[in-house]
Structure 1
Amino acid sequence: MYPVRMPRTPAHLFLATSLLAACASTPRRTASKDLRLDTETVGRMRHAASVGKGLRSVGPVVTSAVTHRLSDLAPVLLTLLESDNTLGEFEERLVDCARKSERQINDSLFGNRAPTREECGEELEVDGCGAPITRAMLLGQKKHALALQCAREVLEQLWPASFSLEQRYRYYPNAQFVETVSREAEARLIAQGYTRELWRTIKPDIVLHGDHDPRRSALTLDFKFPCPDTNEPRWTRYGENSAYAGSNQGRVYRDALGGEALMISPRTGVTR
């Protein structure tokens, strides 16, 4: 069985997709609250090309602090990965991806320290809908791009079934129906101006499939890079103008794709 290979499309397409989808669903007066997820997605694509040369060495990898939680939080993986040792390595290496990415970006921009709370909260840009983009969001975007590159290598080596990276899904909660949205469909919807069609969509970082059905998840994972790093990682809550108002990412991922949904962050590792 082979990983799902998603077609590579220029970063500006993903930038346009996220901005248009966000503008279609959120009025200007609530943009800063409701556009947080979309802005993260936009920035990841914006910076992917600039950091696309892979991870450099960033010092010794610390794995001793990793508490193996996947066997408890997602026991189905024990069946798919066949042994607890393999599952432990799988978890440690994904957490390492988050830690390396955090360390590399922080080192390159701040030297041997993490950004302060004040630096994290500084507004540096605005997006296409006029919502502020903070330093925390831009840092998270850069770290996501590196972490996903690293995660692809881990998955190709250790995950025995198919997987998807940043696959967009259209989910209808009332009908309990989910479908994949291809890169080509995204481009076509943008070109035709049907941005409302992108409003009812989700885009997890990693979806691990137990078989070859890209609409079903054995486990869904999102990288989280809190800023400052003393903050706890959390799922983004959907605002009142979202198709999933009143819920959060993790709950929608579970409802839509069927598997457990977990976060990976540098300091706390794998959490629900």
Structure 2
Amino acid sequence: MIPPAAQRVAEVGASVAAAARVLDASERARIERELAECADLARFEVLERYMEGRPPTPEECHEKGNFGGRYRTRAMFLGEEMHRVALACAESRLKVLRPGGFSVEPRYTYNQQTRKWEFMSAEKEAMLLDEGCFGELRGTIKPDIVIHLGNPFLAQAVYDFKFPCVKIDEGRWCEYTRGPHQGRTQSDVYKGVLSITPSRILPRIGVMP
């Protein structure tokens, strides 16, 4: 049995730790403003480069072909390009706002032996991809942006960029259709792993749950 005094110390310590993970409102606002600007910038740059500055029609979004060297829909290609620009923008801006306190596309993996989630280094991820060990990445999660306390598991905020092609306000959370997370949304899984409710960043819309 834990002595009452020790119990109170433990409770206070837990409360302090929880409070430390709460992101200051003004800092959150600055971060989200920068990320929203990155989403707008990404959409603008990619449409300028590939669509002469205009948004694609629904028919163009669904068109399949060789886009960017791969057979896929134009929507998939434009979304991937917008993500690339947005993530580079986010990294450059967060280096100023949160040096050492953020991660871009961190990958988390579940260790079946320890039954705990672990952080996978970018080097190990690259090695697995180079060696074609895609099965090793099955069931992992990879949010776009994690704001943290210097440790990817001490998350204070989690964000994913969404770039819908047809209706700009319909960038929904993806739902897993296979694997260990089948039937669950990205939002649900991210929250379960990082204990933080994630947010979406959409161009021209900003932050959404």
User: TM-score under structure 2 normalisation?
Assistant: 0.79
CA distance in 1, matches of 2:108, 2:76: 23
- Structure 1's unaligned 5+ residue stretches are 1-75
1:200 partner SS: coil
2:49 counterpart of 1:108:
yes
- Give the letter aligned to residue 232 of structure 1: E
| Alignment check: 8 A CA contact 1:177 1:256 kept | no
2:155 partner SS: coil
What do you get for the CA RMSD once the two structures are aligned? 2.8
Correspondence for 2:166: 228
2:121 counterpart of 1:179:
no
| Alignment check: 8 A CA contact 2:164 2:171 kept | yes
**Number of aligned residues:** 189
Correspondence for 1:154: 93
Match of 2:139 among 200, 203, 213: 200
> Larger relative contact order (C-alpha < 8 A, sep ≥ 6)?
1
1:137 partner SS: helix
- Give the letter aligned to residue 268 of structure 1: I
Correspondence for 2:152: 214
CA distance in 1, matches of 2:130, 2:36: 38
- Structure 1 window deviating more from structure 2 (246-255 vs 107-116): it is 107-116
Residues 1-272 of structure 1: pairs in structure 2 closer than 5 A: 80-81=23-24, 84=26, 86-125=27-66, 133-159=72-98, 162-171=101-110, 177-190=116-129, 194-209=133-148, 211-239=149-177, 241-272=178-209
1:230–1:188 CA distance, 2 compared to 1 (3 A): closer
CA distance in 2, matches of 1:100, 1:224: 13
Q: Which of the pair has more CA radius of gyration?
A: 2
| Alignment check: 8 A CA contact 2:21 2:156 kept | no
CA distance in 1, matches of 2:92, 2:20: 18
CA distance in 1, matches of 2:200, 2:20: 16
1:77–1:114 CA distance, 2 compared to 1 (3 A): farther
| Alignment check: 8 A CA contact 1:244 1:252 kept | yes
1:88–1:216 CA distance, 2 compared to 1 (3 A): closer
Shift of 1:268: 1.9
1:226–1:178 CA distance, 2 compared to 1 (3 A): same
| Alignment check: 8 A CA contact 2:109 2:117 kept | yes
2:198 partner SS: strand
CA distance in 1, matches of 2:125, 2:98: 28
Listed one character per residue, the Cα deviations across residues 42-101 of structure 1 (whole Å, up to 9, x for unaligned) are xxxxxxxxxxxxxxxxxxxxxxxxxxxxxxxxxx899544x63x4433322210110011
Listed one character per residue, the Cα deviations across residues 74-133 of structure 1 (whole Å, up to 9, x for unaligned) are xx899544x63x44333222101100110111122222421111101111249xxxx962
CA distance in 2, matches of 1:235, 1:124: 25
1:158–1:188 CA distance, 2 compared to 1 (3 A): closer
| Alignment check: 8 A CA contact 2:21 2:155 kept | no
- Give the letter aligned to residue 199 of structure 2: L
1:78–1:105 CA distance, 2 compared to 1 (3 A): same
CA distance in 2, matches of 1:164, 1:103: 24
